[in-house]
Structure 1
């Protein structure tokens, strides 16, 4: 049984064998401009060239209208700047005057006037982390850092530090305090780390010797790991106790010391020596920029009166009107330096600060 096909044109099937000239259905109707490539036919269809030409004409007209005003204003500015320069050259006091900002920008050069530092050479404010920043030395360091315009984050567990040492900075938008123990890791984003966290008084560090050595070793390891992760410069505040019971007076940095590893003070002595070792290993192994400062006896405001060290004992005995204790034969060579001078020494400007 033959089937009847219905074509899209709606008509019946054409007679078999009929040619294309017979007016029947053609499966591929002829396309205009069939001799052009497909991309060219697409670009030429639906009046696309007309729209493209109209767009180019409009853009050219806008540029032509806007160009004379811009060039004329630029020319006027150049003329004004040239006349201003010629006027200043004839005036002996011209080098002390300040040029308008748009004139300086137009010249595309840095114009040094009045001895002012160019903007590009001004020091960048840093974000600084100070561990143990609520302590005696740390609080003075925080004062100096904020004074020079840095943003400071203090991390302190207040074991020996006190909030009173930094309370005058509360409300300062550049100051932040976090109560935290450096034995536990902490993640922060800073440019520099000043690691001062550790009880430094014999009274305090002998109270809990295991905690003291953990602060020196684990705490320093945590801070060095943080410095490596964020590529921050690292300062370790060490101590004269790394020399132990020295056989050399005065001590120089090349002296390795005479330390008792099992004594009652070894938690602090050996802890600081290990902290220095870790610091130098990170410097050599991870190319970390580090500083180590071995602090001798210091004294000054905010120092605990019951600190247990020589100067605080002298002060306490003087206040109580007691006889002063003579340590040794009185010929010790350790120098006592006011803490503000020490802080100034730490913060001498270097090229890496800029």
Structure 2
């Protein structure tokens, strides 16, 4: 199978290519020429994500994994015009695929379509979505609806994967995960806001690779799936586990004066196990162990 991957040089895209190369013929689509890596297993193509350039890049492909998106931007959470570009881009992808005869598409959606203050815990794909977590989540939800439209009216087979918060080496700087690991590696105290009661639900980036592959091969009538670890974890427990894995035991400071996020995120993956036949391979402990191994072997990190 010849598979095109949008956002191929991004965080998840890089892992996906690494995980699928040698098993499939891959076409990596990106708008940034400077990030095109010379690999014999991958044919990289530049695209501005207009329909014209996409149709040219997609010719001959049998399936598409759509990862390209504008992620949440600090300070611009209230500007929907920024995130509306995700809908425009996704519309161009779906329409281009329809025009060149590609029906098998996997779309990377997000946990942000759910809102812990509106949806019951755990989040289920059958939940009614009234208020998404943020405008980024709203853009992803609109894309999911667009996918269902194309499936219904054009007989396409677009699957949407609602990804939990993604964990892995190479994730953007400044988020809690990367900040905790960086500080633990430097034997500095991890700063936990308040008492660290809030809970997050994560998925290891390597598990996303297996989920995408399952979705590409899936023939189920179900088209929306939660992709997450089996369990969520509190901020406090996460900090303690990071310190355990990176040998920074008991080095935590609780900033009680700082307002903590006490929301709880938990995604039910029962539906995913049943209809996608996908099961996460990594819990948080083993994901962090694997990240430590990558940092040691590939980035010269030495405990």
State the partner residue of 1:82. none
Structure 2 residue 211 is matched with structure 1 residue 345: yes
How many Å separate the matches in 1 of 2:130 and 2:180? 27
2:149 aligns to what? 281
Deviation string, structure 1 residues 268-313 (Cα, Å, up to 9, x no partner): 121111100100000000000111100011111222223x3x3223
Matches within 5 A, 1:256-271: 256-259=128-131, 265-266=134-135, 268-271=136-139
Residue 43 of structure 2 is aligned to residue 152 of structure 1: no
Report the equivalent of 2:69.
198
Which residue number corresponds to residue 4 of structure 1?
none
Whether the 8 Å contact between 1:318 and 1:324 is mirrored in structure 2 is no
| Counterpart secondary structure, 1:325 | strand
- The alignment partner of 2:190 has SS state of coil
1:295-310 maps to which residues of 2 (within 5 A)? 295-306=163-174, 308=175, 310=176
Q: How does 1:167-186 map to 2 (within 5 A)?
A: 167=37, 170-172=38-40, 174-183=41-50, 185=52, 186=54
Structure ranking higher in strand proportion: 2
State the alpha-carbon separation in 2 of the partners of residues 273 and 351 from structure 1: 21
Q: Match for 2:121 among 230, 245, 249?
A: 249
Instruction: Extract unaligned runs of 5+ from structure 1.
Output: 1-125
Matches within 5 A, 1:82-97: none
Partner residue of 1:218? Answer: 88
Q: Does structure 2 conserve the Cα–Cα contact (< 8 Å) formed by 1:130 and 1:154?
A: yes
Counterparts of 1:1-354 in structure 2 under 5 Å? 126-148=1-23, 150-158=24-32, 163=35, 167=37, 170-172=38-40, 174-183=41-50, 185=52, 186-187=54-55, 188-189=58-59, 190-203=61-74, 206=77, 210-214=81-85, 216-232=86-102, 233-247=104-118, 248-259=120-131, 265-266=134-135, 268-306=136-174, 308=175, 310-319=176-185, 321-326=188-193, 330-332=197-199, 334-348=200-214, 350=217
1:145, CA displacement in angstroms? Answer: 2.1
Provide the rounded CA distance (Å) in 1 between the counterparts of 2:179 and 2:63: 34
Deviation at 1:325, TM superposition (A): 2.6
> Is the alpha carbon distance of 1:178 and 1:252 closer, same or farther for their aligned partners in structure 2, counting shifts above 3 Å?
same
Counterpart-to-counterpart distance in 1, 2:14 and 2:115: 27
CA distance in 2, matches of 1:283, 1:341: 26
* TM value normalised by structure 2: 0.61
Paired residue secondary structure (2:191) = coil
User: In the alignment, is the contact (CA less than 8 A) between 1:130 and 1:153 conserved in 2?
Assistant: yes
* Structure ranking higher on relative contact order (CA contacts 8 Å, 6+ apart): 2
1:319 Cα offset (Å): 4.7
The secondary structure found in structure 2 opposite 1:337 is strand
Paired residue secondary structure (1:220) = helix
Question: Residue 238 and residue 328 in structure 1: after superposition, are their counterparts in 2 closer, same or farther (change >3 A)?
Answer: farther
Cα distance, 1:331 vs structure 2: 4.3
Task: Show structure 2 runs of 5+ residues with no match.
Answer: 220-303
1: CA distance, partners of 2:107 / 2:115: 18
**1:257 Cα deviation after fit:** 3.4
Deviation for aligned residue 1:223: 0.7
Q: 8 Å contact 2:13–2:67 — kept in the other structure? A: yes
| Matches of 1:351 and 1:277, distance apart in 2 | 19
Higher helix share: 1
Flag the structure with larger Rg: 1
* RMSD, aligned α-carbons: 2.9
Aligned partners of 1:204, 1:137: CA distance in 2, in Å? Answer: 24
Give the secondary structure class of the aligned counterpart of 1:324: strand
